[in-house]
Amino acid sequence: MRTVTKDTITDVFAGYFGTDTDPRVREVLVALARHLHAFTREVNLTHEEWQKALEIMEWAGRITTPERNEFVLMSDVMGLSSLVDMVNSRADATSSSVLGPFHVSNAPPLAMGGDMKRDFGGEVLLVEGHVRDTAGNPIAGATLDIWQTAPNGLYSSQDPDQDIHSFHGLMTCDDDGRYAFTTVKPVSYTVPTDGPVGEILNAAGRHPWRPSHLHYIAAAEGFRTLVTEVFPDDDPYLDQDTVFGVRDDLVMHYESRPADTFPDGMELSGKVKEDYLQVTFDVVLANA
Q: Which residues inside 203-242 make contact with a second copy, applying CB under 8 A?
A: 203-206, 227, 238-240, 242
> Which residues contact residue 137 at a Cβ distance below 8 angstroms, ignoring those fewer than 6 apart?
177
- Does 137 bind a second copy (CB under 8 A)? Our answer is no
- Does 44 bind a second copy (CB under 8 A)? Our answer is yes
- Does 75 bind a second copy (CB under 8 A)? Our answer is yes
Contacts 24+ apart (CB under 8 A), 248-253: 249/94, 249/95, 250/94, 250/95, 250/97, 250/213, 252/279, 252/280, 252/281, 253/279
Mark the segment that binds a second copy (CB under 8 A) among 3-11, 136-144, 167-175, 180-188: 3-11
Instruction: Give me the DSSP letters along 102-141.
Output: ---SSPPEE-TTEES-TT--S-EEEEEEEEEETTS-B-TT
- Does 253 bind a second copy (CB under 8 A)? Our answer is no
Output the smallest distance, CB 94 to a second copy, in A: 14
Binding test (CB under 8 A) with a second copy, winner from 23, 43, 160, 161: 43
Output the smallest distance, CB 253 to a second copy, in A: 14
Nearer to a second copy, 244 or 281 (CB): 244
Binding test (CB under 8 A) with a second copy, winner from 104, 200, 268, 286: 200
- Does 140 bind a second copy (CB under 8 A)? Our answer is no
In degrees to the nearest 10, what's the CA dihedral of 257, 248, 81, 208? -60
With contact defined as beta carbons under 8 Å apart, do 192 and 242 qualify?
no
Q: 183 by DSSP, 3-state: which?
A: strand
Phi, psi of 10 (to 5 degrees): -70, -40
- Does 5 bind a second copy (CB under 8 A)? Our answer is yes
Output the smallest distance, CB 76 to a second copy, in A: 11
- Does 19 bind a second copy (CB under 8 A)? Our answer is yes
With contact defined as beta carbons under 8 Å apart, do 196 and 60 qualify?
yes
Binding test (CB under 8 A) with a second copy, winner from 23, 42, 121, 258: 42
Question: For residues 154-193, which are near a second copy according to CB under 8 A?
Answer: none
Binding test (CB under 8 A) with a second copy, winner from 26, 118, 253, 271: 26
- Does 270 bind a second copy (CB under 8 A)? Our answer is no
**CA 50 to CA 61: how far, in whole Å?**
17
**CA 280 to CA 226: how far, in whole Å?**
18
Q: 228 by DSSP, 3-state: which?
A: strand
Output the smallest distance, CB 216 to a second copy, in A: 15
Number of residues that bind a second copy (CB under 8 A): 78
- Does 61 bind a second copy (CB under 8 A)? Our answer is yes
Binding test (CB under 8 A) with a second copy, winner from 117, 132, 215, 247: 247
With contact defined as beta carbons under 8 Å apart, do 124 and 272 qualify?
yes
> Which residues contact residue 92 at a Cβ distance below 8 angstroms, ignoring those fewer than 6 apart?
134, 284, 286
Output the smallest distance, CB 268 to a second copy, in A: 32
- Does 2 bind a second copy (CB under 8 A)? Our answer is yes
